[in-house]
Chains A and B, each alone.
Chain A
Amino acid sequence: MVFRRFLSRTLDVFPPLIALIAGLLVASLLLIALNANPLDAYQSLWNGAFGSENAAAETLVKAIPMLFVAIGICVAFRGGVVNIGGEGQMIAGAVVGVAAALALGNANAAGWVIITLALLSGFVAGAVYAGIAGVLKAYFNVNEILSTIMLNQIAVQLMNYLLNGVLLDPSEAGSNHIPKTARIVEWAELPRLSFTLSDGVELFGRTRLHWGLLLALILAVLIYVLLWRTTIGYRIRAVGANERAARYAGISDKRQVVLAMLLAGGCAGLAGVVQVLGLQYRLQTDGSASGFTAGAGFNGIVVALFGGLNPLGAIPASVFFGGLLVGAQKMQRDLGIPASMITAINGLIVVFVVSSQIFVTWRSKRRALSATVAVAAPPVAQLETQP
């Protein structure tokens, strides 16, 4: 199948590079059309993303949830499941995670206990929520793209319902409240993250950067090992690469599909709960579809594709797209270019990454062809007369 062939070749650095260049090109044309100098815009974008210590920290903060989601997307896509449900799974993880953190905080549990259990429950909630789509695909033949998109919308409404109801911050009661939970206890917060450089200077000392970054990096390595160094990962990839062959080899494709979705949803669920524990310290939304996630569930797909569907590749990719999103805010202030331009460019990059697969396919076909030719070794003249 096309998707499987596409998977096996995505590791090539080729497509992301083509996609990036094409994306930059289109973005430049767009900027010119909007009466902005592309060079000024990119300068402003860069300064906004990496121009200062705080900018770089914000970029990393933005990258954290996208990296979590992207790691999960790598598992799902490698397993042949097109999981578009990152948004909903993030929300599921955040809702259950914050509920756990609040309940344990009320019970005066120790900080590390609250954090561990909240992360765990966020993972499980995201996994279960994604598992719905996995089971529907494996056992009821329901297209997972459509089901996960619907589940995203359902999750947003469920979250709004809970935040206006049982989870509403008690101090916010009243008709004009902001839909948000109470604040988690201070000792359940993920600590801020900073580095002491060799010359004694503290990097990221007064920024919002938090330990979620380390958790995401650890998860990236773990999932990389899982996918390429364990039989569990081998099975998932085998089903993704060739469902029928895997079935002949005795690997249950249905079970792998569900497993891939569970893992993917778990990672996205972690993205949600880490946003709560590390950054917002409560669950809060403006009621809109991306009010809580800020689109990280969707952008995680872009990051995963751009990172070659490899959890380790997703690390630099997440920083890159984090920088784009943060830099876009500054570009909006400096040049009046709406930050939604980045959404459009992200979309184009997705299209370009999957489209440039054909060049890779075309190259490997030529390689395969020349190999066949070498074996069969027909007369050169005869070969050349063929179209």
Chain B
Amino acid sequence: MISDILTAGVFASMIRLATPYLFASIGEMFGQRSGVLNLGVDGIMLMGAFFSFYAVLTTGSLLAGVVVAIIVGLVLGLAMAFVSVTLKAEQGISGIGLYLFGLGMSELLFQKWVGTPQSVSGFPRIYFPLLTDIPVIGQIFFNHNLLVYVAFALVPISAYVLNKTAFGLSIRAVGQNPQAADAMGVNVNRVRYTTVMIGGVLASMAGASLSIALLDVFQQNITGGLGFIAVALVYFGRWKPYGVLVGALLFSFVNALQLQVSAIGIEIPTEFAVMAPYVITIIALVFASRQTEKPDALTKPFERGES
């Protein structure tokens, strides 16, 4: 029974399905570490998913898809940064606005430019000589597309950037105590613009990973609220890259199990399977709620001379 469920295939899907979570959560973590809560991740994901899909559909070039996703992420990240950093708007609500915008806009453009559901040929699986042929291990770890590996590579890279570079120090300082950072000569707003735009690019890539690497289609609301789970994962992971990794793997494991359980015909109502990640998110938020690692300045816009 258990061996029917926990197959190598499940662990392979777990690795694969962690991709959008990792992109979106690592990006969101940068913003939050600098004090900006971007709740519009899901909207940016939807826009990234649509535009990269559309680029691949029309040009046939995966590179074009990625480039377009990055541009979309930069633009929407810039917009979010402008709203939350320069205009100092309430971050939770403006994020919901950005989400609604992305939800409506991606559907509008899809209906107008594409119309009927169709698939694209997305990122192919990479074949590693020898490694892919190792039984079980090869299937689980060495049989994925490029974006999967990029997403996992983001974890050590972001840990390095945050903890070992001057830029990472600025991010943490700005998120903990912007007044002190400002006094030390750090340009608080510039740091926040940068982190929110990094977050935008990664959220957009998270969407692209759905539409041109994992599912190879676009449909209305393709993310199904995945972006919001990604925001919650940052809390769950206590604002640390490896914590986020654990959370992303936990969720993708639940998703993979869900697929496997219905594939081998175990009678669990689909509704409960679909519900599971959301229930787990709430439970995870309760356990992550001591939040001693939470950046002190999270959601607080910076004003010189105020504390």
Contacts and interface: CB of A to CB of B under 8 A. Distances in A.
B112 A338 contact: yes
A150 B281 contact: yes
Contacts of A149: 225, 228
Contact of B107 (A3, A165, A343): A343
B235 interface: yes
Interface residues of B, number: 50
A377 B286 CA distance: 53
Interface string B283-307: 0011001110000000111000000
A354 B101 contact: no
Interface in A107-156: 136, 140-143, 145-147, 149-154
B101 A344 contact: yes
B93 interface: yes
B44 to A, nearest CB: 12
Given A136-B286, A147-B282, A160-B271, A354 B104 contact: no
Interface residues of A, number: 53
Given A142-B285, A354-B89, A355-B89, A347 B104 contact: yes
Interface string A322-352: 0000000000000001101111111111111
Q: SS class of chain A's interface: helix, strand, loop or mixed? A: helix
B271 A158 contact: yes
B286 A143 contact: no
B103 to A, nearest CB: 6
Contacts of B105: 340, 344, 347
A228 B279 CA distance: 37
A147 B220 CA distance: 23
A347 B108 CA distance: 13
B282 A151 contact: yes
Which of A140, A347, A357, A361 has the most CB atoms of chain B within a 10 A radius of its CB?
A: A347
Given A344-B105, A354-B94, 9 more contacts: A2-B299, A143-B235, A298-B100, A347-B43, A348-B97, A354-B83, A355-B87, A357-B89, A361-B88
Interface of A: 1-3, 6, 34, 82, 84, 136, 140-143, 145-147, 149-154, 157-158, 160-161, 164-165, 289, 298, 301-302, 305, 337-338, 340-352, 354-358, 361
Q: Nearest 3 A-B pairs (CB), nearest first?
A: A343-B104, A347-B100, A350-B97
Interface of B: 39, 43, 83, 87-90, 92-94, 96-105, 107-108, 111-112, 220-221, 224-225, 228-229, 231-232, 235, 269, 271-272, 274-275, 278-279, 281-282, 285-286, 289-291, 299-301
5 contacts: A151-B278, A158-B271, A298-B96, A355-B94, A358-B89
